Structure 1
Amino acid sequence: MKAIKKAVYPMQKCYSIAQIQHNDKPYIAVAAEKEDDCLLFTPEGKFVETIWKGPSGTMSIVPLQGENGAFLATKKMFSPNNADEACIVLVRPTAQGWKEKTLIKIPYAHRFDVLESDGKRYLVCATIKKTKEYEDDWRFPGQYLACELPPESENADLKLQVIVDGLLKNHGYIRRHDKNGDYSVISSATGIFEIHPPTDKNSEWSVEKLLDEETSDMAFADFDGDGQDEMVTLSPFHGNTVKFFKKQDAGCSWKCVYEFPKKLEFVHAIWAGTVKGKQVAVIGHRKGESRDLYVFSYDNGYRAEVLDKDCGSTNVLVYNFMGKDRIVSANREINEIAFYEFEE
């Protein structure tokens, strides 16, 4: 499997990526980790416009379904050492341009999402830590926070509830879905947790620990085609190891079935899903002799192929447009937003 780079655009320390729908057309939004802007592109990688001017400090962008291009984003989350003023903003396209309003201030808000369950929307947020007193101070572990998000959220007085506490180096997040609606999976130095919102008026938030292993990020896909998703992890926190786990028949335990023998320093970018009819994971790392972008797949065993060399990806998103599977990668370490097309 190959990916051909079709378009690039410069952005200092590009980081967060999301696909949004505006006026029934798909677009790609990309925002910077530090001082640069948030920009809008066509799916082919053509620059459209600037959504906001920097500084950004944007770790996550979450589209609001059915709201014609509106999205939520973190701002002022510049690093685990500089996020006392972090917040979530609501951004909407208008006839006068993109308008932004602070929705809620959440120090050290790293990942967040909007979940739908039992006809309600919930704002959830994973903080990487609570606070700090000096550089690289990890004495105040992060949390998973949640509250109901009303339809008219602009002026709502949001009160977050602590669902999980004590999440050291609380970093990874993915949204999943089952018969009851959306739920979260988060990863930290404390392990990986599955968190479900209430499914009816009589239920509460539920938390299950999936893996008792320090993990930076994870994703899920049915790589071997047996009908059950495997879990691919990047570990430890900002670490160098890629592992694949399968859920065991008895109980809810997960067993490592493959560990990629090559160490990928500061492995960070991860996405899993279908590309050209195959379940794959796209993974990138940010340090080392060659900061490559890989695609992992399964063919009588797990295998890895290099998609791009020395690009230093921090986040990736795979999507289909005009019948072609594509990647947008925030190649942070070379200050480049890159758009690729998959080829066999």
Structure 2
Amino acid sequence: MEFKKIFSDHLDHCYAIMRLQAQKQDFIIVASEENQPCYAYDLNNDYQRTTVWPDVGGTMTMVAIPDTLNFLATQRFYPGFNSAHCRIVKETFNGQGWDQTIIGEYPYIHRFDLIPQKEKGKFWYIGCSIANSKKDTDDWSDPGKIWVGEYIDDREQIINLHALDTRITKNHGYHRFSGYSLITGSQGIFKLTPPDENHDWQLEQLSAFATSDIAAADINQDGQLEYLAIEGFHGAGLRIYDSSFQTLTQSTEKTPFGHAIWGGRIADRDYFLFGWRAGQQGLELISDTQLTSQLIDVHVGPSNVTVFSKNQQQYVLSANREANIVAIYQIIM
């Protein structure tokens, strides 16, 4: 497999990424974690760039509103992790660009998500705060919370907001799967299941190993998901779990400041992507449970990475934070 860089653009401290596709329009959105812009690149028009917002930034998460070109995003998650004034905004597509509405301040919210309910325009809201309060950037004495509630899109409001009982130190990673989400931190990996007619929010601990981020793929092609976890907070190693969260493999090579992670299908089978932001600052493809890897790029320090398809061709989108470059690589089989 070959990876050919076909597009790059400068964006200082590029961090959050998203594919936004509706109404025959098709964009990738990339935002900075500093007081810098958020850009939209038009995949139907040779990556033509539109500025979604020119500054403020501090964006950790963006979530699309289904069947629209609108989305929610965090802003002001700075300085460092001492983000008492973090807020969530809504960006509404006006035909040419995006208009912003401030939903409200949500201190220390690092990851959040909207889970669609049966009623159109109504969503379960999940907000994960990396801490509850801080005296300074390095203070982790007040663990983060998992906030849940409902988001009503036509009112642009989060309602019935409350925190679950479990507190998680360095509450960093989040990933939505089918019917559940995984949340990670110093205490391990937790499975969060939204309410239904039979139960309220449910939270179950799956692993006690300190974990920064997680992704899933059927990497050994056995018909069940395996999970790739970045060990520790911005950790220097990897662990692969089976579908029951029993350890299959731990890495031996150091990958300091592990951060970018993705799992899914490329061509006719599943793979993982992984990137780290210190040392070699590599981006790599992982092809099996023994962590066999192929280096895609070096000295780029990815913060987030994903794979998308366009016109029967697949691409890797990487926010190469340490190089300040938004990069797209064509996957050549």
Q: Give the structure-1-normalised TM-score.
A: 0.92
Counterpart of 1:320 (choices 298, 309, 313) is 309
Query: Is it true that 1:60 corresponds to 2:66 in the alignment?
Result: no
In the TM superposition, what are the counterparts of 1:89-238 in structure 2 within 5 Å?
Answer: 89-95=89-95, 97-117=97-117, 119=119, 121-154=123-156, 156=157, 158-177=159-178, 182-200=179-197, 202-238=198-234
- Contact kept in structure 2, 1:141 and 1:165, CA below 8 Å: no
Partner of 1:306: 295
Q: What is the DSSP-based 3-state SS (H/G/I as helix, E as strand, rest coil) of the residue aligned with 1:282?
A: strand
How many pairs are equivalent? 330
SS in 2 for 1:121: strand
- C-alpha distance in structure 2 between counterparts of 1:273 and 1:69, whole Å: 24
C-alpha spacing 1:158/1:8, structure 2 compared with 1 (3 Å): same
Deviations 1:176-200 (A, max 9, x none): 11xxxx4211100011001011111
What residue is the counterpart of 1:340 in the other structure? Answer: 329
Alignment correspondent of 1:77: 77
8 Å Cα contact 1:80/1:128 also seen in 2: no
Corresponding residue for 2:284?
A: 294
1:198-238 per-residue CA deviation (whole Å, 9 max, x = no partner) reads 111x4211111111110000011111111110111001111
Shift of 1:148: 1.5
Tell me how far apart the structure 1 counterparts of residues 132 and 124 of structure 2 sit (CA, whole Å).
21
Matches within 5 A, 1:234-245: 234-245=230-241
Contact 2:82/2:136 (8 A) holds in 1: no
Distance 1:335 1:5 in 2: 15
Give the equivalent residue in structure 2 for 1:20: 20
Taking every aligned residue pair, what percent have the same amino acid on both sides? 30
Distance 1:169 1:121 in 2: 26
C-alpha deviation, 1:153, in angstroms: 3.2
- SS at the partner of 1:281? strand
Q: Which moved more, 1:326-335 or 1:37-46?
A: 37-46
**Greater displacement, 72-81 / 43-52:** 43-52
Out of 274, 278, 284, the position equivalent to 2:269 is 278
Give the match's secondary structure for 2:159. Answer: coil
- Give the deviation of 1:157 after TM superposition: 5.8
Counterpart-to-counterpart distance in 1, 2:264 and 2:104: 32
Q: Which moved more, 1:79-88 or 1:139-148?
A: 79-88
CA-CA distance at 1:48 after TM superposition: 2.5
Match of 1:268 in 2: 259
Gaps of 5+ in 2: none
> What one-letter code is carried by the residue in structure 2 that aligns with 1:220?
A
Aligned match of 1:251? none
- Tell me the CA shift for residue 50 of structure 1: 0.5
Aligned to 1:255: 246
CA shift, 1:135, in A, is 3.0
Partner residue in 1 for 2:242:
246
Q: Aligned partner of 1:146: which letter?
A: V
Q: Is the 8 A contact 2:16 2:59 kept in 1?
A: yes
Q: 1:35 aligns to what?
A: 35
Q: Structure 1 residues 79 and 221, CA, compared in 2 at 3 Å: closer, same or farther? A: farther
**Amino acid corresponding to residue 163 of structure 1 in structure 2:** L
2:180 alignment partner, SS class: strand
The one-letter code sitting in structure 1 at the alignment partner of 2:232 is P
Tell me how far apart the structure 2 counterparts of residues 246 and 122 of structure 1 sit (CA, whole Å).
28
CA distance in 2, matches of 1:342, 1:51: 28
Task: Give secondary structure in 1 for the equivalent of 2:220.
Answer: coil
Displacement of 1:329: 0.5
Task: For residues 129-160 of structure 1, give each alpha carbon's deviation from its aligned partner in whole angstroms, at most 9, with x where no partner exists.
Answer: 01111231000110111111224232x36241
Give 3-state SS (helix, strand or coil) of 1:19's partner: strand
Q: Measured at CA, do residues 125 and 175 of structure 1 come closer, stay the same or move farther in structure 2, by a change above 3 Å?
A: same
How far, CA to CA, are the matches of 2:42 and 2:98 in structure 1?
A: 17
For the 8 Å contact 1:110–1:126, the answer to whether it is kept is yes
Query: How far has the Cα of 1:69 moved from its partner?
Result: 0.4
Displacement of 1:281: 0.6
Partner of 1:333: helix, strand, or coil?
helix
Q: Tell me, in whole angstroms, the C-alpha distance in 2 between the residues paired with 1:97 and 1:342.
A: 30
- Matches of 2:59 and 2:303 in 1, distance apart? 13
**Partner SS state of residue 152, structure 1:** helix
Alpha-carbon distance in 2 for matches of 1:150, 1:57:
24
Deviation at 1:163, TM superposition (A): 2.0
How big is the shift at 1:42? 2.7
User: 1:242–1:259: 8 Å Cα contact kept in structure 2?
Assistant: yes
